[in-house]
Amino acid sequence: MAAVGVTSIAVSGRSLSDKTTKASVCQAAQGLQTSRALRLCKTRIPRTVFLGQSLQQTRYISTGYSVKSLSHSSASFRCEAAVAEVEEAEIPAEKLEYQAEVSRLLDLIVHSLYSHKEVFLRELVSNASDALDKLRFLSVTDDSVLKDCPELEIRIKPDPANGTVTIMDTGVGMTKQDLIDSLGTIAQSGTAKFVKALKDNKEALGDNNLIGQFGVGFYSAFLVAEKVVVSTKSPKSDRQFVWEGEADSSSYIIREEVDPEKLLPRGTSITLYLKPDEAFEYSDPVRIKELVKSYSQFISFPIHVWMEKTRTVPDSSDSTDTDDTSTESKEQEMKTKTEKYHEWELVNETKPIWMRIPKEVEKNEYDAFYKSTFNEYLDPLAYTHFTTEGEVEFRSLLYIPGMAPFNAEELYTANNKNIRLYVKRVFISADFDGELLPRYLGFVKGVVDSNDLPLNVSREILQESRIVRIMKKRLVRKIFDMCQEIADREDKEAYKSFWTNFGRSIKLGCIEDSANHKRLTPLLRFFTSRHEDSLVSLKTYVEDMKPEQNAIYYFAADSIKSAKSAPFLEALLKKDYEVLFLIEPIDEVAITNLQEYEGKKFVDISKEDLDLGGDDEVEEREKEKEYQLLCDWMKQILGEKVAKVQVSKRISSSPCVLVSGKFGWSANMERIMKAQTLGDESTMDFMRGRRVLEINPDHPIMKDLNVACKDTPRSSKVQDIVNMLHETALMASGFFPENPAEYGGKVFEVLGLAMAGAKGDSSPEQEESSDTNTEAVQDVEVVEPSEVQVESDPWN
């Protein structure tokens, strides 16, 4: 074994430490015919060393090797080399902190969390509510914190003249250090610290409803304000401090309040100097009152708004000095005038009824809350008030309205705002588009209050939240329980009203929500061949089924009148089988998605391969054999118009009927799809499927045709009859002929032949009587209209 030592010398003049390099070399040996043949491979490895920016030296490492004797049968070798081990110099690292423009960072945070500017008031009122809650918690162990101001309330004072709005509370307030920690540090939440302290304290109250725990709610003020001034006084301190910050600044000011007129007994006052573009809207007292009612109506503390009002007062400016004390001057009416004044108005009088125990709330209270919250004038059909605890905790109050909206499309659009989400009694949003309830249950109205969701919840958070998915699942179950409760009432008119208003929504659920088919099917109602004037449930239908009936039969049409006269029902009515009538466009799609109910499959009687059971199979095979030639002959005449012609088991009085393929559209569905604005013709051709002509072997026309196909199969008149039978069956089965004018011409031709035959078949007695009538008519004197004179004619 040979090793080579390599010494590195810097070109720049600096000497590097000598290193002994051990280089490994890949050497390959290939077996040859002779036992002593060997190919040796030497490797030269370039190595470049950099010091700073200068290239120091390029060196090559030579390799050495040693070889052992190879055996006679195989070629083997052993190669070893030395590789240089170069110690890398340690480079000192410097730890740096991220630099950010605070004003820009704050702007990004605020605008990413809040999509509507108006929520600033919700956030600030929620912070005020938290401050009052904290003070109430502290007063449990130390009642001295309430001595300066026993009232716990929130007041909002808009000032349109100066473009400001001030939110005041008598809560816990803040010290100077609290201002630095809470307002001077972005995303630092004083409420979160307070909650942590409560959890750490074993003697603290176990249940708290503090709202804001994220730490950016205060900064939402900069959505509408260019400057914010916070004046606050804590019961722990005798000094009052003022915090001032501007939207486009990266710094803030804290100073002590020295103006006696601005001193507070306790609490916090936040004044927003509104941006010029926002001042008109958010300094308006009416707008502020509207926002409070929308977002903070159910805050547990009273909220007062400084409102401008008018009143009528006596007008003393027009009074005249007179010494006349006569009776007339005393009875003279005094003039009045209207003047403006301001006062505090309580705007959150409605209490969150869902926070109460359901047993303690009367029905009239539920109805009153429903009417006032959702602007309804009819009592709800049903309501449910419940609390869910465990993995997810939330309270909910849901209603089924007494009447559907006049515009039914409102129930299924994204603008549906019937469910109002609250987080700890603070309104978050009513715009969910399916996150809390599926689209088909959009008619349900109510409120959902959760303690587990963040206050600044967004659509994206709702879509990805596991909590929301659990809430949705439980809300849907409660709604189904409400609907079933209406169906089980003795007063059947209640469910009839529900089905009239919201039946289509339940059918839509059969299409969109396959997971809840078992809960949806008991709610379905249909007209049937036995009940043309009343709706029947599937449960009642199954209970009334014949013992030999093994399926639920249905037929789709545009009306009950057309459904009960369809030829498809003839054999079923003869067997006394009940048939569901699907007369609404959505019915057939809903039933197709259900597929079965209690083990009974849904079967469309207008499609091929209908098995009614109970027939004599031997007799059927004999008829099929007898009419096989007729079927083949008719198929040859009709060509591609039908897929095949066969003997029917579903008709008894009609000569023939046209049925749809098993997997294609029915005649009713084809009619609906043709009416679609964005219908695709290629899709319709594919889904239209095959059509099968079924003939009735017991009908006289078919018996005559069976003879004609054997005697005169090439007769054009007989072939025309076959084509006309097909087109007539097409219309009787609910389809439309491709050329109505051509079909009408054939009908007129047949009518002409019938009239000619009737004229040729008339008897001599009928001709004599007709001649006598003609003579009698000729003896009648014809009077012109102008010669007719009426005694009461007003023109003479």
268 in a labelled binding site: yes
Backbone φ and ψ of 245, nearest 5°: -145, 150
215 in a labelled binding site: yes
121 CB-contact burial (10 Å; exposed 0-12 / middle 13-18 / buried 19+): buried
- For residue 226, give the nearest of 293, 181, 279 by alpha carbon: 279
* Cβ density class 272-311: b for 16+ within 10 Å, e for less: bbbbeebbeebbebebbbebbbebbbbbbbebbbbbeeee
Sheet hosting strand 596-597, strand order edge to edge: 536-537, 525-528, 579-582, 551-556, 600-604, 596-597
Tell me the sheet residues that pair with 607: 660
Are 423 and 465 in contact by the 8 Å Cβ rule? The answer is no
Structure token pair of residue 617: 């199979």
355 in a labelled binding site: no
321 in a labelled binding site: no
Residue type, 759: K
Q: Quote the CA–CA distance of 353 and 385 in Å, as a whole number.
A: 9
**How many Å from the N-terminal Cα to the C-terminal Cα in the chain?**
151
13 in a labelled binding site: no
- For residue 126, give the nearest of 244, 289, 292 by alpha carbon: 292
Instruction: Return left, alpha or beta for 311; rule: phi > 0 is left, psi -120 to 50 is alpha, else beta.
Output: beta
Following DSSP, what letter does each residue of 482-501 receive, concatenated?
A: HHHHHHTSS-HHHHHHHHHH
State the DSSP H helix or E strand holding residue 46, giving kind and residue range, or none if neither: strand 45-51
3-class DSSP state for residue 129? helix
Are 14 and 75 in contact by the 8 Å Cβ rule? The answer is no
User: β-strand 644-647 against 579-582: which pairing, if any?
Assistant: unpaired
Neighbours of 212 (CB within 10 A): 24
174 in a labelled binding site: yes
* Cβ density class 234-270: b for 16+ within 10 Å, e for less: bbeeeebbbbbbbbeeeebebeeeeeeeeebebbbbb
442 in a labelled binding site: no
217 in a labelled binding site: yes
3-class DSSP state for residue 704? helix
31 in a labelled binding site: no
439 in a labelled binding site: no
476 in a labelled binding site: no
213 in a labelled binding site: yes
Residue bearing tokens 């490797």:
43
**Contacts with 200 (C-beta within 8 Å, 6 or more apart), sequence order:** none
Binding-site residue numbers are: 123, 127, 169, 174, 189-190, 213-218, 268, 459
Binding-site residue numbers for ATP are: 123, 127, 169, 174, 189-190, 213-218, 268, 459
